[in-house]
Amino acid sequence: MAVKATLKELAGVTGGRVIGDGNAVITGVAPVEEARTGDITFITGAKHLKGLAAAKASAVIVKDGEYDAPGVNLLLVKNPRIAFGKVTDIFKPAYVPPPGVHPRAEVHPGARIGAGASVGAFVVIENGAVIGERAVIHPGVYIGLNAQVGPDSTLYSGVAVREGCVIGSRVIIHCNSVVGSDGFGYEFDEGRHNKLPQRGIVRIEDEVELGACVTVDRAAIGETVIGRGTKIDNLVQIAHNVRIGANCIIVAQVGVAGSTVIGNGVVIGGQAGLVGHIRIGDGVMIGAQTGVSGDLASGVWSGSPAIPHTEWLRASSVFARLPELKKRIAELERLVAELKEKK
């Protein structure tokens, strides 16, 4: 099953143009430092120019207009990373299980499975659930009562989508993530935490990706929403009634508490935490490990509690010198007392 293509053919696939030998035969992809004859690789940024000269690859994808031909075959494209991704899809295609429902899946007769969908072994699909066309439900997934998964979405093994939750089209959810677990809501009364019903849903819009072991809680009433094109990394916690806008990036182990509203294009670094019931404006950037306890309208934020990122950088650089500053204050107090006395 070895795949071969000429550089010219790859130019067609990527919408690029060739400088050098368009008939060069490409048989694989590799990072620049590991590429050998037959491989195509890519570089971005001037810092890799040296690597380019030394490259043993049969062709290199570069940004059109950024490089001269240095004696190797070049494929000039608008965006080298995306072009390299397209080429990777050719030489290392993704694993996709065959369509059809595995005889060892447990699909309720009242569920609907779209044409071309794949349902693996030991999957459970409850009554009223709908699986879209060409969706891929890997082994061991659980789809609850009346839940929906849109066309061309992929749910990897062990994912749980609980009752009533709605997953859009072209969504990807990685292994063992949970969509629609109960929100964390109690009312303390008569000496105990009384569980409040969590009967809303989670709605995940088109082209969202959730990493592995992500947890998204269902709303108490209404919806928890992950907006179109938002990408969420592994082990992230999204609490009940949170609403996240479109095209956000949420890095691993972030936690977002209940009812917080996040705008479009927000970037949240790893292990950051947001308290509940706040609003984060479009385009806000939140650094790793930041603790956000109030609304943020715009800007870049870091620290716990969060302050503007540049202030945080400056203050952090002074932090280590606190013991020295304390000594200098004490010395000043001594000197000033002395001066006062002498007067």
Q: Which of residues 144-203 bind a second copy (CB under 8 A)?
A: 144-145, 156-158, 160, 162-163, 172, 174-176, 178, 181-182, 184, 186-187, 189, 191-197, 199
Stretch that binds a second copy, among 11-19, 49-57, 68-76, 204-212 (CB under 8 A): 204-212
AA letter at 252 = A
Q: How far is the CB of 219 from a second copy (least distance, A)?
A: 10
Residue 134 binding a second copy, by CB under 8 A: no
Residue 121 binding a second copy, by CB under 8 A: yes
Among 129, 239, 266, 296, binds a second copy (CB under 8 A): 239
3-state SS class at 273: strand
Residues constituting the chain:
343
What x/- string results for residues 15 through 54 when contact with a second copy is judged by CB under 8 A? Answer: --------------xxx--x--------------------
270 and 288 Cβ atoms separated by less than 8 Å: yes
The encoded tokens of residue 260 equal 């917080």
The encoded tokens of residue 110 equal 């009242």
| Distance from the first to the final alpha carbon of the chain | 94
Query: Which residues 257-276 are close enough to bind a second copy by CB under 8 A?
Result: 257, 270-271, 273, 275
Q: Which is closer to a second copy, CB of 115 or CB of 320?
A: 320
Tell me which residue of 185, 214, 216, 180 sits closest to 200, measured CA to CA.
180
**DSSP percent split of the chain into helix, strand, coil, nearest 5:** 20, 30, 55
**Burial class, 331, CB count within 10 angstroms (exposed 0-12 / middle 13-18 / buried 19+):** exposed
Q: Which is closer to a second copy, CB of 25 or CB of 249?
A: 249
Q: Which is closer to a second copy, CB of 69 or CB of 121?
A: 121
Q: Which residue in the list 48, 138, 174, 240 is annotated as catalytic? A: 240
Tell me which residue of 72, 112, 71, 75 sits closest to 90, measured CA to CA.
75
Stretch that binds a second copy, among 16-24, 47-55, 68-76, 90-98 (CB under 8 A): 90-98
Partners of 100 in the beta sheet? 118
Among 6, 27, 122, 281, binds a second copy (CB under 8 A): 122
Residue 289 binding a second copy, by CB under 8 A: yes
Is 240 a residue of the active site? yes
Residue 329 binding a second copy, by CB under 8 A: yes
Residue written as token pair 């060739």 = 18
Q: How far is CA 84 from CA 78, 95, 154, 193, in A?
A: 11, 18, 23, 54
136 and 148 Cβ atoms separated by less than 8 Å: no
Among 20, 70, 291, 299, binds a second copy (CB under 8 A): 291
Q: Which is closer to a second copy, CB of 47 or CB of 115?
A: 47
Q: DSSP assignment, residue 46? A: G
Residue 295 binding a second copy, by CB under 8 A: no
Among 51, 255, 281, 299, binds a second copy (CB under 8 A): 255
Query: Which residues 1-20 are close enough to bind a second copy by CB under 8 A?
Result: none
Among 63, 72, 207, 227, binds a second copy (CB under 8 A): 207
177: number of CA atoms within 13 Å, CB side?
Answer: 26
292 and 274 Cβ atoms separated by less than 8 Å: yes
Positions marked active-site: 240
